[in-house]
Structure 1
Amino acid sequence: MKQFLITIAGVFMGLVLFFVLIPIILIASVTATNTPTTPTHTVLSLDLRNTIADVPSTSPFSGFNKSISVVDIVRKLQAAETDKSVKGLFIRASEGGLAPAHAEEIRQALVDFKSTGKFVIVHAQGFEYPTLSNYVAISGGSELWMQGSTDFAATGLVAETIFLGGLMEKFGIIPQFEQFKEYKNAVNIYTEKTYNAPHREATTSLLDSIYSAFLASTAFDRKMPVEAIKAALDQAPLSAEAALKAKLIDKIGQPEEALDAALTRAGGADKASVVELADYAASAGTGPVIALIGGEGAIVTGEGNTDPFSQETSIASDDFAGAIRDATDDDDVKAIILRVSSPGGSASASDQIWAAVERAKKAGKPVVVSMGAYAASGGYYVSTGADAILAMPSTITGSIGVFNGKFVINDALNRYTGANIAAIEVGGPFANAYSAATPYTNSQKLAMNGAVTRIYEDFTSKVAAGRRLPIARVLEMAKGRVWSGESAKELGLVDQIGGIRAAILKAKALAKIDAKDSISLRTYPAVEDPITALSKAFGASAHSAKTLARAATVLGALAGDERLSQLISQSHQSKGPVMNEPVRVR
């Protein structure tokens, strides 16, 4: 019966492939080969209300959705600066919040675009969240419009943390972790009930640095003193009329009116055409080759997600290190840019990527890191050996530290479900160290501390060597503490403030390519062909089904309590040291 069901499933998947996926592939292929032309009076459009990724997708089916990345926005607007067909840009502002560093990099792209004489008209249906990032992203526009019936509430920044220490106590779950060191606050959400002193100190300092950078940017864009812009923002929430009077916006009107204004400036509605920035064809350029390798999300070992339709992102060490090695071995490549946007992850995966960077440098290929929204902990580990590191003022970076541990859940299982974890082990005293049934023994605690100590010492020594800093200095600013890009620059953890555009210039300089010369930006890994991507997807789907079946068996007893199920799931994840910094700023 089992084999019969497998056969039926295979036949069904074959029919899906023939009648559904093959036509999709053909459509995608036709779309890819037909590059749209840009009308002579073009207004590019960008909707920041959509999800904005950090790096372009490498999925062969990414063209079916209109999502766009920060890297794409910067690169396409740079290409449009010299395109005589493009007259300006129309933006729908985000109503929620963008990552601070993303907001800054988009803002700089608008400032650069506008400096060539082209216009940027922005419409906001209110800034209804207190976060400043969505306002900073568009404050450099030529005209800021806001709908009259909405409010301007952008006023500051918030880092909000849900602490589960009390919940752990209630359920009888014991979180046991080794943290290096006192600022390594990633696991505080499980062990504490509120911010402890180091956690509060580091987060407050981070917010202060980002807020100061935001005030400076918006004051420059709005041509107001910093004190005046702060005073205006402190009055939020403001009506549209009050925001206009405070010079935070330029005009009040509906989205259609703002778009009409953009079309008029581009030559009139009868001549001008609107082209989505995602559809605008920006050439990869010609000339010497510079490799661009982008990674976004948690750093994990092995290969990445093989589902070409998935929206999940991660930096898989086999894939990322492999891309670096391929670019290193390509004789055409003169320099390598790593775009890193990650809060951290596996220590061993981070080390694998670090080693690939070292190999590239030994081969004579300069390596430049462009940090995205985050490049903290493992994200900083993979970056530290680069020839140059660039970050935006509000990039969250540093967090040079490590933690390891587990949840002891057997008492909770027994208390609430009657279930019990029993184990039979052979081998040394460390054999059951990761068991969720019992706490660490004293010898296991010592062993865990020793393992985490070795990783921390290795991490800090790599930072000292890569950043050319005395180890004593590194140990002072490590301790797991996060820094803004601006603070990291002052400390020597970052070389230069700037985004992907500045990183390309730096790569040119290190590769001895004149700044004015054209280059070919080649993406690694290359986008797979649709057939290969689908083949991998089907293999992954079968594996995923088996995995889900196993998980359902294990967690079935806990179906009545979702919180416990989530904690069990977490306790069965990484069984090794982790470098992760989950700070989120909005």
Structure 2
Amino acid sequence: MRSFFKYVLATVTGITIVVILFFVLIIGLVMSTISQSSSKDADVPSNAVLYVSLNHDITERTSENPLEGLNMPGYASTKSLGLNDIVARIAAAKTDSRIKGIYLNPSYVNTGMASLKEIHDALQDFKSSGKFIVAYSDSYTQKAYYLASVADKIYLNPEGSLEFNGLSSSIAFVKEALQKLGVEMQVVKVGTYKSAVEPFLLNEMSPANRLQVTSYLESMYGSFLENIAEGRKISVDSLRYVADNYLIRNAEDAVKHKFVDGRLHKDELLTEIKKRLGVEEKKDIPAVSLLDYTGGSTSEQTGDRIAVVYAYGDIVDGEGSDTNIGGDRFSRELRKLRRDDRVKAVVLRVNSPGGSALASDIIAREVELTRQVKPIVVSMGDYAASGGYYISALADSIFAERETLTGSIGVFGLIPNLQGLLNNKLGVHFDEVKTGRFSGLMSSPDKPLTEEERAIIQGDVNRVYNTFIGKVAQGRKLSTNAVDSIGQGRVWTGLQAEGHGLVDGIGGIDRAISAAAAKAKLKNYKLAYYPTVKDPFSSILGTSKERIKAWMLADELGDYRQYVEQLRTITRSSGIQARMPYTIEIR
């Protein structure tokens, strides 16, 4: 009888927990719905400032999360906006008579350099309206200061800091760690600069890789300095001198070198903004946050459609998920848009370091077929490299930011040999029976490749590379020899790529949309965005496991999470890869 009650109690407890979790999800959904409906009709006071902080992860596109704001494992505890909404809302504020200026309050900005440039340009465009931008922070990272440099006035807390010491990019090498585990990475590749596999083979950058990293980093740094120089009216040479000698250590140094206009406490900053608005000192500043501001009611453009397709994340075989580019899913999306008579042009927004060569080719085929029916223009984000460039090459036109990292035209295969780990450390052995000499090719994880097997794989890699450069040559109207000379896995910035004929012009997604409209001869059109965003509640139920795992990884490892994710992505990749070298983080 005691056991009976114990099991009954356990069952009831389990059901209760499930019910509680279910109601938490429902409450979160209702709260989000209320919040979203109220934000659509956000009460923007007259004579207001738009508060912009951007102190959150910035993705390509705002994701729907009905539990946003709830502190639950796997879900964000604060609101966030994608690049698309950040730019659109700043643009709306430019013509909103209720908004008189922007209070820019960044301390760090977690996004890539190309996305940073698009936000910078949106702020610059806002400023052209004659409205003010005032920047203030307790501390500025370099990316935060880059945005602040657009402002009419920049202020810093008297005890605050400003980071300005040049850009850097570091790589984690795991060769010796794998050796200690008894793991050997067997690499087959094409491309002198195809360095995605170097962390598994070396303890430092190869000379070729160091050359390319130095080249694109200097190109990005040049653009970075030029924009700051324009905003602050300081020469590029002076900026370089300050960075090279680490002359800014504190707020006093920042004022001395004219990086900021003054040292202010928060209350003094608020007084400054009140004066600009003509608000009495004892009253609060009328304000609305960029997170809540939607631009008010706008009349929807009518007419034909331009489809904007967001392709961001790793390129993977099959359907993929919301956070990557599934070859089957995206080829199907393009096929539907090609057959849709309402859609007169397509803009493919690519932000990807690449991935599966096969999936890239499947998507590239649909881009080619779409081009035969209607204009298709590519807009490149932070990355459009290797497989990301593969799916772009056959478009009518390609636009990138100067800071975009692209190219990396090369492929590789990575086959782990776990003989040392399995046989020597764990005592695990494999044996097999074969009907042919190559029946067991790559089937046993504890056996190294033979010379014949390596030659077979190298032949496949060479074939994929030749197909890759052939498609680039076709799309860009270059010879295959010319493509090979600028290929070999080398990464270029958008500015460098334009010089080599890999992109047609410098600009963000707005320029790509304008180019698509011009090619389709459209004057009146509306934008339609794809893939369609999933119902947020369904999305949560479908991806809770992945979200919780990501949350736990981030909680335990912090900034070091990227190295684990990088290793996991590479080692889990199957087939021949057209992937950018590792994850490039610019600081």
Residues 261, 387 of structure 1: alpha-carbon distance in 2 compared, 3 angstrom cutoff: farther
Q: Deviation of residue 268 (structure 1)? A: 2.0
CA–CA distance in structure 2, aligned partners of residues 437 and 164 of structure 1: 20
Which amino acid in structure 1 is aligned with residue 530 of structure 2? Y
Matched, 1:379 2:388: yes
Do the aligned partners of 2:367 and 2:395 also contact (CA within 8 Å) in 1?
A: yes
Find the counterpart in structure 2 of residue 27 from structure 1: 31
Find the counterpart in structure 1 of residue 314 from structure 2: 298
CA–CA distance in structure 2, aligned partners of residues 566 and 233 of structure 1: 32
- TM-score, scaled to structure 1: 0.86
Which amino acid in structure 1 is aligned with residue 318 of structure 2? G
Find the counterpart in structure 2 of residue 523 from structure 1: 529
Do the aligned partners of 1:60 and 1:528 also contact (CA within 8 Å) in 2?
A: no
Matched, 1:73 2:73: no
Residues 420, 38 of structure 1: alpha-carbon distance in 2 compared, 3 angstrom cutoff: same
Matched, 1:498 2:507: yes
SS in 1 for 2:117: helix
Q: Deviation of residue 521 (structure 1)? A: 2.1
Do the aligned partners of 1:152 and 1:240 also contact (CA within 8 Å) in 2?
A: yes
Find the counterpart in structure 1 of residue 556 from structure 2: none
Q: Deviation of residue 17 (structure 1)? A: 6.8
SS in 2 for 1:294: strand
CA–CA distance in structure 2, aligned partners of residues 247 and 571 of structure 1: 45
Matched, 1:402 2:418: no
The correspondence for 1:214, drawn from 212, 224, 249, is: 224
Residues 28, 304 of structure 1: alpha-carbon distance in 2 compared, 3 angstrom cutoff: farther
Q: Deviation of residue 22 (structure 1)? A: 2.7
CA–CA distance in structure 2, aligned partners of residues 19 and 469 of structure 1: 60
Q: Deviation of residue 120 (structure 1)? A: 1.3
Residues 322, 10 of structure 1: alpha-carbon distance in 2 compared, 3 angstrom cutoff: farther
Q: Deviation of residue 425 (structure 1)? A: 4.8
CA–CA distance in structure 2, aligned partners of residues 266 and 368 of structure 1: 42
Find the counterpart in structure 1 of residue 59 from structure 2: 53
Which amino acid in structure 2 is aligned with residue 22 of structure 1? I
CA–CA distance in structure 2, aligned partners of residues 568 and 530 of structure 1: 30
CA–CA distance in structure 1, aligned partners of residues 565 and 431 of structure 2: 22
CA–CA distance in structure 2, aligned partners of residues 362 and 5 of structure 1: 66
Matched, 1:187 2:191: no
1:537-576 equivalences in 2 (<5 Å): 537=543, 573-576=572-575
SS in 2 for 1:520: strand
Aligned residues: 551
Find the counterpart in structure 2 of residue 362 from structure 1: 372
CA–CA distance in structure 2, aligned partners of residues 253 and 321 of structure 1: 54
Q: Deviation of residue 224 (structure 1)? A: 2.3
SS in 1 for 2:388: helix
User: Cα RMSD between the aligned structures?
Assistant: 3.2
Which amino acid in structure 1 is aligned with residue 85 of structure 2? D
Alignment identity in percent? 34
Q: Deviation of residue 480 (structure 1)? A: 0.3
SS in 1 for 2:166: coil
Q: Deviation of residue 356 (structure 1)? A: 2.3
Mean CA deviation greater in 402-411 or 247-256: 247-256
Mean CA deviation greater in 222-231 or 172-181: 222-231
Q: Deviation of residue 90 (structure 1)? A: 1.4
CA–CA distance in structure 2, aligned partners of residues 6 and 367 of structure 1: 59
Do the aligned partners of 1:55 and 1:295 also contact (CA within 8 Å) in 2?
A: no
Residues 434, 491 of structure 1: alpha-carbon distance in 2 compared, 3 angstrom cutoff: farther
1:10-409 equivalences in 2 (<5 Å): 15-16=19-20, 18-34=22-38, 35=40, 36-57=42-63, 65-95=78-108, 98-127=111-140, 132-238=142-248, 239-268=250-279, 270=283, 272-282=285-295, 283=298, 285-288=300-303, 289-305=305-321, 313-364=323-374, 366-409=375-418
- The unaligned stretches of length 5 or more in structure 2 are 1-7, 71-77, 550-560
Do the aligned partners of 2:57 and 2:109 also contact (CA within 8 Å) in 1?
A: no
Q: Deviation of residue 380 (structure 1)? A: 0.9
- The unaligned stretches of length 5 or more in structure 1 are 307-312, 546-561
CA–CA distance in structure 1, aligned partners of residues 267 and 339 of structure 2: 52
Residues 42, 291 of structure 1: alpha-carbon distance in 2 compared, 3 angstrom cutoff: farther
How big is each residue's C-alpha offset from its partner over 1:513-535, in whole Å with a ceiling of 9 and x where there is no partner?
24xx5x42221122233454356
1:459-538 equivalences in 2 (<5 Å): 459-514=468-523, 519-530=525-536, 532-533=538-539, 536-537=542-543
Do the aligned partners of 1:92 and 1:123 also contact (CA within 8 Å) in 2?
A: yes
Find the counterpart in structure 2 of residue 458 from structure 1: 467
